[in-house]
Each structure stands twice: as C-alpha cells, then as structure tokens.
Amino acid sequence: MQYKIINNPMGMLVINMNKDEEITAEAGSLVYLKGDIEIKTRMRNKGLLKSLKVTVLGGETFFVNDYIAHEDNSILGLTGPPVGDICQIKVDSYGYIVQAGAYIASTKGIELDTQWQGFTKGIFGTELFMLKATGKGDLFVNSYGSIIEDELKGGEKMLLDNYHLVALSANAEYKVVKVGGLKTTILGGEGLATEITGPAKVYYQTKNLKELIDLLGVRAREETQGRGLSIGGFRV
C-alpha cells in the first residue's frame, strides 16, 4: 500500500492499494475510487457502547467504511472537512492523543478510543475528551491550516496554544497552564495553553478554528443586526 498526499492545504489523500490490502476511513471521506474496491460499512468499534463513546465524546462518525482491494493498482481518494493540511502519523507502541474530529483514515491495526483529560488537562481548546490512537500502523489526520511536526528532546519544553494542537505522542508529559493574567486573557486574546515536556512528538496547526468561528459569528450578527438579513443576494 502506498500513500500520497496532494494539493495541501486543500489536501486529498490518495492511496494505491494492491489485492487484499485494506484501509479504514471516516464515513463521508470518500472522494473517488478506481479499480475493484469493496466497501464495507460497520460500527467504528466492536460493541455499541464503545462506538457511541467515540462518536459522542470524540467527535467522530458512528460508522466507518472499510475499503478492501480485490485487484492490484486500485486507487482510493479520501479527504476531510477542514480547509487545511492532511498529515500522516506513524503510530508506535506509545500511541497518540488526537484532536477530536481530525481523524480521516487508518491502516489495519490502529484502534481509536476516547481519552479523558480531566478538568485540569482539558487540552485541544475546550475539549475534555480527545481520541487516543493505539496499535501500530499509519494514521491520517486533517486540520484547519497547515500542520507542522516538531520533536522535543528529553526535558525540552514547549508552550502551545490549546486550539493549535493537533496530535501529541502519548508518552509526553503535559499540563494546561494559564498564559498571563486576567488582563492578558481579556485584552490579549490568550488564556490557556498546553505546556509539553519532551521527549515527545507534537503536531500543531497554523490556524485557529475557534477564531474563524468567532469571526464568522461577528459577520453573521452584522448581517442580522442593523444592516438587515441577506437572502439570495437580496437584503431584507
């Protein structure tokens, strides 16, 4: 099985599969396929409760699709909803904690579950639950903006805004800390950040999705308050 990520930041994952090779993908991620590829839809995990937990708490779909090639040189194109990079993460014995909603696909041998962080470790923005990917294989994620990979040496520290963290190796030590005082939080647009101590591998995104949502909310209010509502190009 060979992978190719094309056209980042409007990325698409292209997978070249030989006979009997298999990959699992998020429901709705299919762009196209070529060749004899069978699609099997199933619950994400074995057991109803575990699938519900990943869906409700981890921000992923209840069902996933297994794509199984029945001939060589079959091609599969997948993508995710965010306007940003797609990235391949090699999962090893430590596993990774992943931003909820970032998952696109994974090879056989990767298992997803939710990871409770507690109120003092609620990283990745306001998320108290994230996904935990364990096993051995390849994991593909998609986030808003470009994805940058950084590797911290033992004892090396990194302070990262919560809304920019995409994935973190599960062997890392981390804690949520306040950035500045009350004035900084209110006027400076900062608040909580994640302090990560190596050894660790960190994947972070260059853009903040919450800021985009807030911006769109302001624009929406401007449309509906004072200047009227625009419908189909006509203002009411």
The CATH number of the domain covering residues in 2-214: 3.60.160.10
Would the pTM count as exceeding 0.85? no
Could you tell me if 228 and 199 are in contact, meaning their C-beta atoms sit under 8 angstroms apart?
no
Structure-block tokens of residue 162? 């919560």
CA angle 110, 113, 119 (to 5 degrees): 140
Could you tell me if 24 and 78 are in contact, meaning their C-beta atoms sit under 8 angstroms apart?
no
Give CA–CA dist 154/197, Å, rounded: 7
Structure-block tokens of residue 189? 């647009």
Where are the domains positioned within the chain? 2-214
Kindly calculate the radius of gyration of the chain based on its CA atoms and give it in whole angstroms: 20
In the beta sheet, which residues pair with residue 43?
63
- The tally of CA atoms less than 13 A away on the side-chain side of residue 119 is 0
Q: Is 18 helix (H, G, I), strand (E, B) or coil?
A: coil
Tell me which residue has tokens 């109803």: 48
Q: Give the pLDDT of the chain (236 residues) as one tens digit per residue.
A: 999 999 998 899 999 999 999 999 988 899 999 999 999 998 765 555 544 444 444 445 567 899 999 999 999 999 998 889 999 999 988 899 888 788 999 998 998 887 666 555 556 554 556 788 999 999 999 999 999 999 999 999 999 987 888 999 998 998 888 775 544 444 444 567 889 999 999 999 998 877 677 667 654 444 444 444 433 333 33
Q: Which residues contact 84 (CB under 8 A, 6 or more apart)?
A: 8, 9, 11, 142, 143, 144, 145, 146, 147, 205, 207
Quick one: the chain helix, strand, coil %, rounded to 5?
15, 50, 35
Could you tell me if 136 and 89 are in contact, meaning their C-beta atoms sit under 8 angstroms apart?
no
